[in-house]
Amino acid sequence: MKGTAYSFAEQVDREIETLTESDYLRRRDRGKRLREELYPISRLALQLKQPGLEIEVEGFENDGPVDGHIRETGFREEEFDIEVTSDYSYEESLRDELLVAEGVAWGAGDIYRDKMSRNVVATAGVVDHDEHVERVCEAVIRLFRNKSVVSYPPNTVLIICFDEIKLFGHYSWSQMLSCVGAQGGLAGSAFRSIYLFNMATNELQNAA
């Protein structure tokens, strides 16, 4: 898939809207590629677009060494590859499966698959109001370190994605970025730059 920043984003949005609820929530087949690669790439392209600067973007969709490419032309001439990585735990996948099956799923608490019935079993739990900050922070650090030891083409941008509805706005992002800094930060890699993308709130932050 390729196009300008606007046409690429429009095509991605249109395809996401046609997904079934199950394929979207459980990130299966086309839904996985759209949510975990093409959607984040499209939002980076939109963020870069401004008057006097044209953005050409491509999502490779081929399981190659990188996930996409952006070329900027106009008052600035730049191009770079894009690698996208997403945090999606086994527990999150079980909650999405339960949400599809029953229409509701607890956001916290124990969850597991019963060995006999194979059904997902969940109990409600209580967490601190800001527990998501450290949880997302740890995921970002883990994904960054995993990608930092892999060789990518020169001039590659990394997008680290997560899906957390409770993390939005300046205060929450400041908390999370402070946590990331306290754990060593995102410096020292060969990536051109690193973006953090919250898929739940459509917020993209340039973090390094």
Does the pLDDT at position 43 exceed 90? yes
pLDDT, the chain, mean: 94
Q: Given 68, 99, 122, which residue is the final one in a domain?
A: 122
Query: 104, 122, 140: which is the final residue of a domain?
Result: 122
Q: What type of residue is 200?
A: A
User: Across the strands, what pairs with 206?
Assistant: 195
Same domain as 78, residue 4 = yes
Among residues of the chain, what percentage have pLDDT more than 70? 100
Task: State which amino acid sits at residue 178.
Answer: S
Residue 48 near residue 80, CB atoms below 8 Å: no
Q: What is the pLDDT of residues 19-35, one digit of tens each?
A: 998 898 888 889 999 99
Closest CA to 197 of 57, 22, 89, 45: 45
Same domain? For 111 and 54 the reply is no
**Structural domain boundaries, residue 42:** 1-83
184 and 138 within one domain: yes
User: Burial of 89 by CB count in 10 Å (0-12 exposed, 13-18 middle, 19+ buried)?
Assistant: exposed
> Which pLDDT score is estimated for 172?
93
Check whether residue 54 and residue 72 sit in a common domain.
yes
β-strand pairing of 193-198 with 53-59 = unpaired
Q: What is the tens place of the pLDDT at every residue in 107-157?
A: 888 988 988 888 888 888 888 888 999 999 999 999 999 999 999 999 999
Query: Six-digit token pair at 33?
Result: 């590629």
Contacts of 18 (CB under 8 A, 6+ apart): none
39-42, long-range: CB within 8 Å, 24+ apart, which pairs? 39/12, 39/199, 40/84, 40/86, 40/159, 40/161, 40/197, 40/199, 40/204, 41/8, 41/67, 41/68, 41/70, 41/82, 41/84, 41/159, 42/5, 42/8, 42/9, 42/12, 42/13
What domain count does the chain have?
3
Domain shared by 118 and 152, yes or no = no
94 and 62 within one domain: no
Using the predicted structure, report yes or no on whether residue 42 has a pLDDT greater than 90: yes
pLDDT above 90 covers what percent of the chain? 74
Residues 6+ apart with CB under 8 A from 202: 43
9: tokens are: 């984003």
